[in-house]
Structure 1
Amino acid sequence: MVYYRQFPGIWRALTEAALRKGDVVIATARNPKSLAGLVETYRDRIYPLALDVSDKSAVSQAVEEAKSRYGCLDVNRIID
């Protein structure tokens, strides 16, 4: 999961690097519409989720949704 916050340029660059490598990325943002360009380019390898990390129940829900969709999460690659 990648969450865009204080330094969106850095997170976007990391996300794009992972996608170019062939990884599947669950990208979270307060406004997932901000990820539209990545979704258009990488289609089925990026899954955008709305998330406000200050809302603990929303964080739990996002993790559960990601696990439900992909079966598991690669904990070594969760950023932030």
Structure 2
Amino acid sequence: MNYPIPENPQGIFEMRQQPVDEELVAAAIAGVIKIVRSQGQSLEQLTAEVLADDTLLDKQQRRWLSQVVSQAWDTIS
């Protein structure tokens, strides 16, 4: 992977400066999972946040992303 997995929210924020590709998205998801776990949050809490209504993603996109996050949760240690 060309991108390091972020260890903190600042690392996630700094990723915004990179061109978006599959590896960047995967590193961002892995970083969010690591950060959420370090804060003692559960997969259920994270998916609830992903599924929360916002203006960035529509309902179908949020459901798809929550499924991706759930699958990644099980594979990221």
So what's the TM-score if we normalise by structure 2? 0.32
So what's the TM-score if we normalise by structure 1? 0.32
Structure number with higher strand proportion: 1
Which protein shows a greater Rg? 2
Structure number with higher helix proportion: 2
